[in-house]
Structure 1
Amino acid sequence: MATTTTTETLHSTDGIILQALPPKAVLKGSNDSERPFANAPILEPARSSNDPSPPEDAFEAKVKWNSPPINKYRVLSTFWSFFVLGMNDGSYGFESYYNLTYTVVSLIFLSPFAGYTMAALANSAIHIRFGQRGVGIIAPLFRLIPYLVITFHPPYPVLVVMYILVGFGNGIVDAAWCAWIGNMANSHEVSGVLQACYALGATVAPLITTAISSHSRGGWWTFYYIMVSVSALELGAGTTTFWTQTGAVYLSENPHQKAGEKATSGRTREALKSKLTWFFSLFIFLYVGTEVSIGGWIVVFMTKVRNASTFAGSATATGFWGGMTVGRLVLGFVTSRIGGFRAMLLYLGLAIAIELVFWLVPNMVVTAVASALLGMILGPIFPTAVVLMTTVLPRSLHISAIGFATAIGGSGSAALPFAVGAIAQAKGVKTLQPIILACCVVMLIVWLFLQRHRPKDKEVGVNLAVFKRLRERAKEMLN
């Protein structure tokens, strides 16, 4: 939230001009929560109003998920929004009703990507004009209205258009809430829970649709009555919790790095000029494509290559998504302890090792266990990448850059599974594993490049000084 601060100019006996900063000013190395004079103003040499740069020894005091208190309800609202997002991605089930070819049906999977692309271009403008309040209102409406239309099971071309609108709403919340939580304290843990809510929604939706169809309680469109309800709840939660977060508040909290708060354009263009935006987008493209390829083709792989039953194949897929949910909930705490960049190298290395076991050990039980472990290791990669984007890019570019990266990720979720299917059609489903392995290796290569651009200051994470002292002591003992 934006805060209003006032300063008072004072004069010391030596004639040095001082200014009394608010009690909340924080200096590197300070621990004001343990000091008896934490509420006393901090005196610093006054700086010119034309000099926007902060003191060299100052750092940004980030908001927490529970401070200020309203943030608790805002974070819960974003969790619910991502749960709805996950339910949307697991809610397709109308192929037989329209009696169309696979090629025509595939349009419904490409239309959300068109919406994501539109959102990537509009994200920055929405934040500048309407702030997070606008996100809390516009995004749920772009879900609620299309879902309401779908409940009337309209002609298929109308369905395609409705999912373009849904993709637009999804693209807005994906960029907005990932960027907001990525700038919080304990961002790795909170982002992990946010993404776990998405995985949980994607897991719950097929169970609901299966229950509806198995009990003959209506057609496939019955599920969208539920989607209308959850989107209406999302609209109410987002509107009430983010009502005070206007466009003016957003500009004050995210001033342009060069032009200050008054700059209301050019952020998307500047984000696209940064090579880091493109490399992060390539990384997200590969990750999302890998994740969706495994989840979409693992049942076929298990039944055709490992000779498993349909039930065992489905159970393996459930294990993969369940492992991903657990990984996002648990491994965020590991990431925050060892540091995001180091953790990413660890996760990618383990993913390559587990994928080799997945591929080379022709045992159904080993494959099922490897699938769950692979899902758990891949789980924290996306939230970790988003959080690290917020550390290497200027804050004013976060919305535009993350929005663009998620749109590229949407194309990966369509392009890579399609490529896997085309290759499997020609060479067999056994080609799934070498393709996934190649994607993991390329992700590691891309991340090694991004590793070179990590912040120059000490990375947040485990303090390695204790290991340095142990090494020095061992040398002394040897000498």
Structure 2
Amino acid sequence: MVTFFLLIIYLAFISLGLPDSLLGVAWPAMQPEIGAAFESAGLLSMVVTGGTIVSSLVSGSLIERFGTGIVTFVSCLLTASALLGFSFAPSLFWLILLAIPLGLGAGAVDSGLNNYVANHYKAHHMSWLHCFWGVGATLGPIIMSYSMGTNDAWRDGYYTVSMLQFVLVFILLLTLPLWRIVAGKHQPQGMEELHTRNESTSGDEAAARKQGNPLQIKGVKFTLMAFLFYCGAEMTVGLWGASFLVGTRDLPLETAAVWVSMYYGGITVGRFITGFVTLKFNNLTLIRAGQMTAIAGAILLLLPLHPYLSLIGLVVIGLGLAPIFPCLLHETPARFGRAHSSRIMGYQMAVAYTGTTILPPLFGIVAAQISIGLFPVVILLFAVMMLLSSEKVNRILYKNGKSAV
């Protein structure tokens, strides 16, 4: 039952990744048909992200009240309905309205499933969970490209993805009773360690529990900073990496595009490999190793070396970033206690989406005013700030007897 249920969770994360990359592929065909301005795609993206941030912030309270199963089911129903609406939307106004439930559904699913896996499955499942998000994000453009290639119908692409989402909604409806059953029966190896690490709760944590405010727990705010700079680094590389390679390394656009794709491939493959590595090394070790690897990749970009070493630097950054996000998420209940893990997980996802939304465009403004050559400096800065924030959390937890050095 546990294995079967885990497959359902993986499917849910594939479905979470499916819509994320549709808009960028479909927009060249959507924009003239609905008569929208070219930059309106950015507005739609911001509305989706805004909804995701809001639902991430409230997901902890919703999960505590209704349970992960119900929240996941309703959220997937929201995203499936919104995507179906996209396939019939006659104008930008309707697309903006539909972007609201699309974002709300995505944020709640993301936070809820991350928290469920962190509490009930071992670390390698968290890495593979985010690897499956990459599978969905890869399949989305393939489905849309096929639809547009056969009859130039972007609406068919959205319709197909919505039908896939509705299939998942039906599966989730049938398996609703399993969520509590599996949660009650499945206590993987490592839960004993989690329990031991949470026995020594500090006075601040006890006060935070009484107040119901997990932000008062020591280390939480620095953890949120680590998520902010992680997502800032990941998305800034993805958005501006090709521009840097073309503008400062004089590489052809086609070559730059291929290597940015390989950067994302490094993240996806790295997370798949991380799932096996977690069987030998703990999350703390993998987070540190990933951060140092990402810093090394940023240094390769920064140094005035052969252009192809810059390409290798991109892949090294991707491999370094791979274990950080899932391992940080999986550490949440162990670091801060299971009582508040659902709310803290929601805060982490909200800050992560905030970093994704704000930091890459902010760098774009700086690059336009100064130079795209600042790209490796900014990536190195983000990676170092992420490392310092994470290590600050480790020192706080070590003083409280809840973490190794």
Name the TM-score, length of structure 1 as normaliser: 0.73
Deviation at 1:267, TM superposition (A): 9.4
Q: How many residues align?
A: 377
Pairing 1:175-324 to 2, within 5 Å after superposition: 175-185=111-121, 187-213=122-148, 215-245=149-179, 269-324=212-267
CA 328–224 in structure 1, closer or farther in 2 if over 3 Å, else same: same
Which SS does the other structure have where 1:337 is aligned? coil
Question: Who is 2:46 aligned against?
Answer: 110
Deviations 1:288-311 (A, max 9, x none): 121111111122222222222222
Question: Who is 2:88 aligned against?
Answer: 152
Question: Who is 2:377 aligned against?
Answer: 434
* Contact 1:268-1:401 at 8 Å conserved across structures: no
* Contact 1:267-1:396 at 8 Å conserved across structures: no
CA 121–367 in structure 1, closer or farther in 2 if over 3 Å, else same: closer
Deviation at 1:420, TM superposition (A): 1.5
Structure 2 CA distance, aligned partners of 1:303 and 1:344? Answer: 31
Q: Kindly provide the amino acid, as one letter, of the partner of residue 18 in structure 2.
A: M
1:339 aligns with 2:282: yes
Higher relative helix content: 2
Deviation at 1:232, TM superposition (A): 1.1
1:126 aligns with 2:58: no
Deviation at 1:321, TM superposition (A): 0.8
Q: Kindly provide the amino acid, as one letter, of the partner of residue 431 in structure 1.
A: L
Query: Structure 2 stretches of 5 or more lacking a match?
Result: 188-198, 202-208
Question: Who is 2:21 aligned against?
Answer: 90
Structure 2 CA distance, aligned partners of 1:179 and 1:267? Answer: 21
1:74 aligns with 2:5: yes
Query: Structure 1 stretches of 5 or more lacking a match?
Result: 1-69, 259-265, 465-479
Deviations 1:133-172 (A, max 9, x none): 2023201111111111100133212212212211111111
Question: Who is 1:32 aligned against?
Answer: none
Q: Kindly provide the amino acid, as one letter, of the partner of residue 124 in structure 2.
A: E
* Contact 1:323-1:376 at 8 Å conserved across structures: yes
Of all paired residues, the percent bearing the same amino acid is 21
Which SS does the other structure have where 1:154 is aligned? coil
Structure 2 CA distance, aligned partners of 1:76 and 1:166? Answer: 23
Name the TM-score, length of structure 2 as normaliser: 0.85
Deviation at 1:91, TM superposition (A): 0.9
More RCO (CA 8 Å, sep 6+): 2
Structure 1 CA distance, aligned partners of 2:311 and 2:46? Answer: 30
The root-mean-square deviation of aligned C-alpha atoms, in Å, is 2.7
Deviation at 1:184, TM superposition (A): 3.2
* Contact 1:424-1:431 at 8 Å conserved across structures: yes
User: 1:359 is matched with which residue: 302, 314, 320?
Assistant: 302
Deviations 1:68-126 (A, max 9, x none): xx221221111111112212111113253345446543221211222123313432333
Bigger-Rg structure (1/2): 1
CA 342–133 in structure 1, closer or farther in 2 if over 3 Å, else same: closer
Bigger drift between 409-418 and 76-85 goes to 76-85
Point out 4+ residue stretches in structure 1 off by more than 4 angstroms: 98-103, 266-269, 455-460
* Contact 1:109-1:414 at 8 Å conserved across structures: no
Deviations 1:298-333 (A, max 9, x none): 222222222222221221111011110111011233
